[in-house]
Structure 1
Amino acid sequence: MGSRAVVWKLLILAGVSLLLSVVLLRIGWLVDERQARQQEAVASVEQAQAGAQTLLGPLLLRQCSEEWETLVMDENQERRRSTAKRDFVISAVPERLQVGGALNQEARYRGIFKVNGYAGRLQFDAQWASLQALEPPRAQQPGGRVQCGPVQAMLASSDARGLRAATLKLGELALAVKPGTGHPAYMRGLHAPLPETLALDAPLSLQLSLELAGTQRFALVPAAAATSLNLRSDWPHPSFGGRFLPSSREIGEAGFSAQWQVSELASTAPADVLQHKVVGGLGGSGNQEIDTLEFAMVDPVNPYVMSDRAIKYGLMFILLTFVCVGLVELMSGRRVHPVQYLLVGLALSLFFLLLLSLSEHLGFGLSYLLAAGAAVGLLGYYGAAMLGTWQRGLGFGAGVAGLYAALYVLLSLEQASLIVGALLLFIVLAAVMVLTRRLDWYALGASATAAASSR
C-alpha cells in the first residue's frame, strides 16, 4: 500500500509537470508573437524612414553609345542599310578611397517597440591617378562609331531616402548634386556632372560630405584599389560583419570606433563593381555578392530573446523546486497536496509572464529583479503555510531566490551557459543524494500509509 501511494503521487506530480510545461509553452508562443510584432515595427520604420544602408562609391562613369551600319531585309525581301545602336557605361573606381565620420544612435519607436537607427555625417575622399579608363573604347562592330557623354561622379545607396544632404567638391569647385546615379545596375543614389574641360590624363580628387540616416545596419563596398574606413558611433554593442573585420577597434560604454584597411589584393570588390555584380540592396547582375565592410546595431539584452532563453530553463527550475519541496516533505513529515505543488508551479510560471511584460517597458535587469522579487515573496509566504512554519517558508523562499539568481547567471553568461547549467544540475543532484543517503524509502512509504489509514 505504501509503495502504491507513492507511485500515485508521483504520477499526479508528473501530470502537474506536464500541465505546467503546456503553460510554459503558451508563454513561449506569446514571446514569439511579441517578437514578430517587433519585426513588424522594424519594417514599418524602414518603410517610413530608411532601412539598412549599403553605400558604393564615389565612382566615375560615362554614358556611351556605339552606332554602326548594317544590312537588313525589308518586307519586299530587299536589302537596305540600317543604323544599329547599343548603349553602355564605362566606369572607373578610385585608386584611394578614405571614408571617415560618425553614425550615432537615432532611435525610432512604434508603440512600445524600439527600433535601432543611426544618423550622422560621413566624409569621402576619393583619388584617381588617371582617368584613362574613361577614354572612349574601341568599337566592337566593324565600322562602328563610339561616342561618350561627359564624366559624372556618382554614389549609390541601397535606400536613397537616408541621403539627407550631400556636398561634392572638385578641389574648391562645388559640383551640382542631383538625384539618381545614371548607372544601369546601381540606380539609387546621387550623381554630379564634372566639368567638360576635365583632362582625362590628369589625376583627380573628389571630396564628398554626406549626411546619412539608416536603420540597424551600415555597410560600405570597398570599391577602390585601397580603401580606408574610419567609423565612430555612440552605440556600445556593435556587431561587425561583411567579408572583412576591422583592423583595429575600441568598444566601451560610450560607443565604439573601428578602422578597416582593405586593398584590391585582398578584395575583388573593385573588379566586381566594374562588372556590375550584385551588392546587397543596390541591384547589380549575377549571383555573387560583393565584399562589404559593415557593422550592425545589436541589442544584447533584447527582452524577447532573453525571455525566450529564460523559458527554456523554466521546466527544469520547476522540477528543481518540486524536488526541494519533496525533500522537505520527506524529512519533516509534513504532507504537501498535489494541488499545492500545482499552485507553486503556476507561481513559478507566472514569473516568466511578468518578466516578459515588464521588460517591454523597463530594462531587463530591473524587470528580472521585480518579477523574481514578486515570485519569491509570494512563494515564501505560501511556503510558510504549506510547510508548517515560517522558518521553513523563509528557507523555501531563499531556495527559490537562489534558483532565480542562478537563472540570471545563466542568461548573462551566454557563452558559458551550458557548462554553468550542467554544473548547477550536478550540484543539486549531489545535494539531494547526500541529504537522502540514509533515508529508508520503504519505511517512509509505510509510515505514510499508516498515517493515512489512522486518519
Structure 2
Amino acid sequence: MENQENQGNEPKSFLQSNTAKMIMVGLLTLFLLIPLLFVQDLIRERSERKNEVDQEIATLWGSDVTFYGPILRIPYQTYENYNVTDTKTGATTIQKRAFTQYAYFFPNELNNVSEVKKNESLKRGIFNPIVFTANMKFNGSFTAPNFAKLNIPTENVQWDKAAVLVRTTNLKSIKSELSIKLNNEKLLFEPQPEDKTDYSILATTLFNYTNLAAGKPIQFHFDIQYNGSNSINFIPIGKITKVSMNSDWESPSLEGSFAANDATKVVNKDGFHADWKILDINRTFSQQYAASLPNLDDYKFGVKLIDTVDEYQQNERVSKYGFLVIGLTFLIFFLIQSVSKINIHIFQYSMIGIALIMFYTLLISITEHSSFSLAYAIAGTAVITMITLYSISILKNRKFALFIAAALTVLYSFIYVIIQMEDYALLVGSIGLFLILGAVMYFSRKIDWGK
C-alpha cells in the first residue's frame, strides 16, 4: 500500500513539466518563423512580378505624363571678339565671331482642361495595370517679349526663326495631330533632337513673327491626346496658370508643389474633379530665360492615379502578424492542456502551426483571382474549420474545440480590422493586444507552473 502511494506521489520528470512543454512550444513557434519568412518572400516575389508587368505595359502603352510648355523660343546673335595675327606682317587685328543663342519666354496666361479616362482593356493575365487616356486642351497667350530684361539688343534678335515649343516626357504616346493655332494661323509641331533631360521636344516651324515684333500679344490653342500610366503632372510656367482635371478614377493622389482648390475638389466612387490656379508670385522662377531653359521639376503638380487596395501590400501586412497568430494559438492550446490535463504532443502542435502557415499561401493565391476581403474570408474559414476539426480529435471535447474556433475567429477578425484601418491601426492594435494580455493573465492565474 505504501509503495503504491509513493508511486502515486512520485515526482514527474522535467520533460513532463509545464516548463519543459512551454519551452518546446516556444521553440516550435520560433521554428515556424522559417516557413513564414518563405511566405513573405513569395508575396514580395509576386508583387515584383506585378511591378514588372506594369512597367512592361507602361513601356508599350505610355508612361507618366509631365507637360512643360508651350514656350516661345526666339534666337538672337551674340558676338565674341578674337585676335587675328597676320603671319607675314605680324600685325594683329580684332575681329568678331557671331554665335546663335536662344531666348525663352513663358506664356502670360496658360489654361488647361483635361479629361482622364481609365483603360481596363490591357489586363495581362491576373494583373490589371493603371493606364489611362488623357484628352488635354490648352489655351492662353504670349505677350510681347521683353528682351531688355535679358540684356539682349533688339537688333540682334532673329524674329524670322522664332518658334513655339513644348517639352514632354511621353512623346511616343501622343495619339493626336501635333498642331497649334497661333491667332488664326495653324502650325504643325515637329519632333526636335532630345536634350540631356528626361524631356522630348516638339517645335513649330515657319512661325509668323510680325505680331510679336510689333509688340502685340498672340493667342494660342492646341489639343493633345495621351496614352499614359500612373500620373499626370504640369509645370506652371504661365504668369497665371489654371488647370482643371476630370477623371473616372476613384482613388487619386493629388501631389506636387501646389495644392488643388479645396472649394471645388470632388472625390467619390464615380471619379474626381480638381482645379488648380497658380500665380507667378506663388513660385520663384522668372518668365524669361537666355541661353537655356531651367529644370523646373521641383514645381511640378498634378495627380497620381493609385490603387488604394494593393492586394500584395495587404498580404504582406497580414503576414507580419503571423508570429502573433501562431504564438497566441499555441498559447490557447497550451492553456487548455494545462487546465484540462489533456496531453498534446509536440507533433500535434506542429500540425496546427503548419495549418496556420497555410492560411497565408491560401490568402495570396485566392487574392490574385478575387478581392482581398473575399480571399481573407475563404482562407480564414478554411483554416479555422481545419483546426477546429483537428482539435475535436485531439482534445476529445467539443467545448474546447468550439472555444478554439471562437478565439481564432476573433483573432483573424481583429487582424482584418487593423489591416483595413489607416489612421487608427496603431491605436486599435495596441488596445487589442492589451486586452489579449489581460485575458491570458486571467486564465493562467491558477496554473501551477511548478508541476
The TM-score, its normalising length taken from structure 1, stands at 0.86
Given candidates 160, 164, 177, the residue that maps to 2:175 is: 164
Bigger mean CA deviation after superposition, 322-331 or 72-81: 72-81
SS in 2 for 1:36: helix
Deviation, structure 1 residue 199: 3.5
Gaps of 5+ in 2: 1-10
Q: 1:441 to 1:294 in 2, by over 3 A?
A: same
Bigger mean CA deviation after superposition, 195-204 or 306-315: 195-204
State the identity %.
Answer: 23
Gaps of 5+ in 1: 280-288, 446-455
Deviation, structure 1 residue 35: 1.9
Matched, 1:310 2:318: yes
Across the two proteins, how many residue pairs are aligned to each other? 431
Instruction: Indicate the RMSD between aligned Cα atoms, in angstroms.
Output: 2.8
Matched, 1:264 2:280: yes
Deviation sequence 1:168-221 (CA, Å, 0-9, x none): 223443322322389887861422243243343112211111111211011100
Matched, 1:190 2:202: yes
Matched, 1:52 2:64: yes
The aligned runs of 1:275-294 (5 Å cut-off) are 276-279=293-296, 289-294=297-302
Q: Is contact 2:40–2:316 with CA below 8 Å preserved after alignment? A: yes
Deviation, structure 1 residue 97: 1.2
Q: 1:9 to 1:38 in 2, by over 3 A?
A: same
Matched, 1:227 2:227: no
Q: 1:186 to 1:52 in 2, by over 3 A?
A: closer
SS in 2 for 1:153: strand
Q: 1:34 to 1:271 in 2, by over 3 A?
A: farther
Q: Is contact 1:157–1:189 with CA below 8 Å preserved after alignment? A: yes
Q: 1:145 to 1:155 in 2, by over 3 A?
A: closer
Deviation, structure 1 residue 130: 2.8
Q: 1:251 to 1:198 in 2, by over 3 A?
A: same
C-alpha distance in 2 between matches for 1:329 and 1:72? 103
Deviation, structure 1 residue 309: 0.8
C-alpha distance in 1 between matches for 2:36 and 2:197? 50
| Aligned amino acid, residue 326 of structure 2 | I
Matched, 1:329 2:337: yes
Residue equivalent to 1:103: 116
| Aligned amino acid, residue 46 of structure 1 | A
C-alpha distance in 1 between matches for 2:289 and 2:370? 46
Q: 1:82 to 1:272 in 2, by over 3 A?
A: closer
Q: Is contact 2:19–2:449 with CA below 8 Å preserved after alignment? A: no
C-alpha distance in 1 between matches for 2:43 and 2:360? 10
Q: 1:305 to 1:332 in 2, by over 3 A?
A: same
Residue equivalent to 2:407: 399
Residue equivalent to 2:39: 27
Matched, 1:254 2:270: yes
Q: Is contact 1:101–1:230 with CA below 8 Å preserved after alignment? A: yes
Deviation sequence 1:324-360 (CA, Å, 0-9, x none): 1122222222221111111111111111111112222
Matched, 1:11 2:23: yes
Q: Is contact 1:41–1:113 with CA below 8 Å preserved after alignment? A: yes
The aligned runs of 1:303-382 (5 Å cut-off) are 303-382=311-390
C-alpha distance in 1 between matches for 2:193 and 2:187? 14
Residue equivalent to 1:85: 98
Given candidates 437, 440, 444, the residue that maps to 1:436 is: 444
Matched, 1:63 2:75: yes
SS in 2 for 1:437: coil
Matched, 1:390 2:398: yes
Deviation sequence 1:204-260 (CA, Å, 0-9, x none): 211111111211011100011111111111111111211112122211111111111
Residue equivalent to 1:241: 255
Q: Which runs of 4+ in 1 moved over 4 A?
A: 73-83, 133-137, 181-187, 269-275
Q: 1:15 to 1:63 in 2, by over 3 A?
A: same
| Aligned amino acid, residue 47 of structure 1 | T
SS in 2 for 1:164: coil
Deviation, structure 1 residue 269: 4.7
Matched, 1:177 2:220: no
Q: Is contact 2:112–2:244 with CA below 8 Å preserved after alignment? A: yes
Residue equivalent to 1:209: 223
Q: Is contact 1:269–1:290 with CA below 8 Å preserved after alignment? A: no
Deviation sequence 1:366-396 (CA, Å, 0-9, x none): 2112211211221121121122133332332
Residue equivalent to 1:448: none
Residue equivalent to 1:282: none
Residue equivalent to 1:449: none
